[in-house]
Amino acid sequence: MVEGEGYLLIQKTLSRNESYSRKMERCIIEISIVTGMSFTDILDFLQFGAGKEISELDESFDWNSFRRKIISRLRGGRDYS
């Protein structure tokens, strides 16, 4: 993946607009730093294993809560703020 083009992959994968996709790109990068997982692995997890969290994000638009929940799930339930 070319640096800065992750939002295009998110747009294609999650069928979201550019603004949402750019915010999701930043969120995935932050999650990647904490978990040590690759961008692609996290995006795959979001696509196939985080439907509930994405639905909650669509309703609340609370990116901090979303990030914490995903990190917690990826790290085995530990709470990372």
Task: Reply yes or no on whether the pLDDT at 78 is more than 60.
Answer: no
Chain mean pLDDT for the chain: 90
Q: How far apart are alpha carbons 62 and 1 in whole angstroms?
A: 27
Helices 18-35 + 6-14 axis angle, to 10: 110
pTM across the whole model: 0.85
pLDDT range class, residue 4, cuts 50, 70, 90 = low
Query: Where do the structural domains in the chain lie, given as residue ranges?
Result: 6-74
CB-count exposure of residue 67 (10 Å: 0-12, 13-18, 19+): buried
